[in-house]
Each structure stands twice: as C-alpha cells, then as structure tokens.
Structure 1
Amino acid sequence: MGVEVVGEELGSLHGIPLFKTFIEVWPQVEAFQAQPDDLLVSTYPKSGTTWLSEILDIIYQDGSVEKCQRDAIYNRVPFLEYKEPGMPSGVELLEKTPSPRLVTTHLPVQLLPKSFCDKNCKVIYMARNPKDVVVSYYYFYQMAKTHPDPGTLAEFLETFMAGKVAYGSWYEHVQGWWEKKQEKQLLYLFYEDMKKDPWQEVQKILRFLGKEMAEEMVERILHHTSFQEMKKNPSANYNSVPTALMDHSISPFLRKGIIGDWKNHFTVAQNERFNQHYQKHMMGSDLHFQMEA
C-alpha cells in the first residue's frame, strides 16, 4: 500500500473526538441509507466488536465456518464510519454488500444516521467494563497507527477518564445506548456475560433475531468464536491489515480477551482514582458492570 500512516491529533465531530479521515467522510455516513433488514452491531471501541461480528456472521451463514472464511471480518461486516487513505470507506463497502447486511459502528447513539431509526433496524449493543476497555484501548492506541501517541498508561487513563479518546466518553456511550434499550429493536449485551455463559448469550441473540438453530450448530458457533480459535483465524484476527495501519508486533489486535486484565496494569492508587471517577459518573444509573471474573 505504501501509505505511511502517522497518528495525528483527533478532530472533533459534534463534540466527539474522532479521526480526521472519519470526519471527512461524515456527510456520506450521515446520509447512509439503511435497509429494514440491516442489523447494526454497536459498541464502544475494544468491547468485543470483532467477536460479536464473527458470532453474527456465522449465524447469518447458518453455521458455515467455511463461508465465514470468505473474506476478512472488516469486509464481511463493514465498519460504517471507517475511512483510511487507500482503503475503501465503510459506506462504499456497505453499498456493495448484499442484504441482509451486518453493519458495525462505534458511534454514540446521538450520532447514529437517522435512516437506521426510520427503517426500524434491529441493533445489538455490547458493553464491556471500563477498566478492561481502557487497558485494551491503550494497547490498541499503540498498535493501530491512526491513533495519537497514548503516552504512558497513567497518562492514557487520564485521557480516557476525561473522554478525550477516539469516540469520546465511555460513560456517555454505554449510558446513551442503555437509555434506548426499552425499544424492542435493541438487544443490550455485556462482554462479561458473553465470556461467562456464551451459550446463554447466543440463545438471546437467536431469539432477538427470530432464528432457531440446532444444538450442535450452536456448539459449532461457540467453538469457532472462542478466543483461541479467533486469534488464529486469519479472517478474524486482523493480521491481513497492512503493518502501516496496524503493527501486530507491538500488540496483537486480539490480545487477551479476558475479564479483569486491568488488575495486571492498574496501580492501587490508579484503581482507587478510577473507582471514585466511575462512581461519580455512574451515579443514578441502573447500569452495572462486572469488573472481574
């Protein structure tokens, strides 16, 4: 590809920090025409997006692992607001994708293109506890070259708590989508539940989609989408992305996929500071997160 990607400072889109290349294509994203049978997969970054996308793609392919290897995950399940130099935009990919389409986004609820609501599209949102998100995001900032330099973990923690990372405040994101969960077309899942009882969560997804699947098919999905299987799956692990965009020698895209890895990274003082900040920002919310396995 030969494009040297250097992380630059984030721009701002309606007050949300975002990559400048994404902001440039915003008019096309905002005007995106959803179809009634589109399924939107929405997450804050580093909250199991690829995992959930792979689960949904294999459900859509009726359990065929082979069909899921037809292309890289980011081509099978296009990322709506994506744009990098020399790569097709998410909107361009989606326009070529046959229905029914799976669409991923990290947009906060207030920035979602209007046509998803107009067409009454189903949405699956997955949230993950913020301590693990921030650690995962820190490694991602280092390996995905579009991000500005995160500095030390201590510095990045402050950036994260201030909502100055790409896609803005984690608190506003998870709460904004949670407030929409009353709508019958939104299924709100938790990463930690999916780790602890994937069978139960896949059943929830199947019910939400109005699909039935034989038990052995569900078992196959669970095996194929286990972290170990996905980590070695070239169509899911992002190893095909040019090193100029993602440097896996710094940190693999699929790094650990566990609950509670933050304990290996936070100091006692950082944890206390984070807890106080969390309590303040989640006050009055009925949204609860499991911080450890």
Structure 2
Amino acid sequence: MLKRGNSEYETKTKEAAFLDFRSPEIIRSIPSPRVLNSHYPCKLVPREMLQKGTKIVHVMRNPKDAFVSFYHHMKPMLNDTFARTFQDFLPLMLGDYGIYMFYPWFSYVKEWETFSKQHSDQILNLFFEDLKEDPVREIKRINDFLGTDRSDDLIRQIAESCDFKKPQES
C-alpha cells in the first residue's frame, strides 16, 4: 500500500509473490519495484538481493506466539505417530528441523540478527506484536525506511485497512 500510494487492500494472495513457492522466472516477471515475501533463512535468500542492497522488511514474532501459531497451522496435518499435543510438537520445532520443519528456528533468528548488524541500512526489523499494538507507528517506520514519503493521513488509512479485527473481503 505504501509503494502503491493507496490504502486499497491487495486482491492477490501473498503467495503470488512468495519466493518459497514461485520459480525465479515468475518472480522476475513481476513488475518492478517488486514487493516479495519469504520464510527463507538468510543464507537461502537470493544472493543478488543481498548484494544489490535490496530493502528488506523483516517481520519477527515472539517465539511463543510463533510456535503456538505454527502448531495450529500444522495440526490438521499431524498424526498420532508424529505429534498429538503441543508438548509433543514443541521439541520438533526447537530441535533439528526448526519452526518451519525445514530449518532450525534458533539458527534462522541468529542468521538474520547477524545480517542485520552487518547491513543495518538494508534491513528494517519489525515485531508482529508491535504491528498489532501500534500499527500507525510501525507503518511510519516502514514508510521512512522505504523512502515512500507518504502522508500521515494515508498511513492512518493503511493502518485501518490492515486492522486485524477488520475482515478482508475476498
């Protein structure tokens, strides 16, 4: 919304520009400037993004909330031999496989922390909980970081459009 300069809700799903699920050809076909998203660990992000100084808005989440959310996301796919309860599931997330079952969660966080220290001008770290607590403040931070120079009025409109309590029309 900041890049487009309006508060209209995007009708495409986030998967349309999800690095995790799209081929490089599809990603390259998205008109520039691209707004992409990913769950990739830092070391799997395409090198050219890191080398070109591409701006990264990195949204993190409180580990407890992330683990509980992921458990409920995965629960329909779990079976009795894998993990029946959250207590059974938690060691799997903290162990060899990590929160996304593909990469250790602590390694993921540590790698992004190291990148952030080395490239502080290229990355803005936000917390999901802060976005919920004061969306206007956090959207202003994104606006400043991206240099989109949007008005306070538009920022408030974006916050209202993205309110977690507001159902999105599909």
TM-score class, shorter: 0.7 to 0.9
Give the corresponding residue for 1:232. 168
Give the corresponding residue for 2:33. 100
Aligned-residue RMSD, C-alpha: 2.0
Alignment of 1:138-157 (within 5 A): 138-143=71-76, 150-157=83-90
- Structure-2 change in CA distance of 1:223 and 1:90 (3 Å): farther
What is the CA-CA distance between 1:103 and the residue it aligns to? 1.2
SS at match of 1:189: strand
What is the CA-CA distance between 1:209 and the residue it aligns to? 0.5
What is the CA-CA distance between 1:90 and the residue it aligns to? 4.4
Give the corresponding residue for 2:4. 61
* Residue 64 of structure 2 corresponds to residue 131 of structure 1: yes
**Identity level (%):** 27
Give the corresponding residue for 2:137. 200
Asked if the contact 2:8/2:161 (under 8 Å) is kept, the reply is yes
Report the residue type matching 2:89 in the other structure: F
Asked if the contact 2:14/2:37 (under 8 Å) is kept, the reply is no
Match of residue 53, structure 2, among 111, 120, 142: 120
TM-score of the pair, normalised by structure 1: 0.52
What is the CA-CA distance between 1:96 and the residue it aligns to? 2.2
SS at match of 2:125: strand
* Larger RCO (alpha carbons 8 Å, 6+ apart): 2
Give the corresponding residue for 1:171. 106
What is the CA-CA distance between 1:181 and the residue it aligns to? 1.4
* Residue 158 of structure 2 corresponds to residue 221 of structure 1: yes
Number of aligned positions between the proteins: 164
**Unpaired runs of at least 5, structure 2:** none
Asked if the contact 1:125/1:186 (under 8 Å) is kept, the reply is yes
Matched residues in 1 for 2:113 and 2:92: separation?
23
Alignment of 1:47-86 (within 5 A): 58-65=1-8, 68-69=10-11, 71-75=12-16, 78-82=17-21
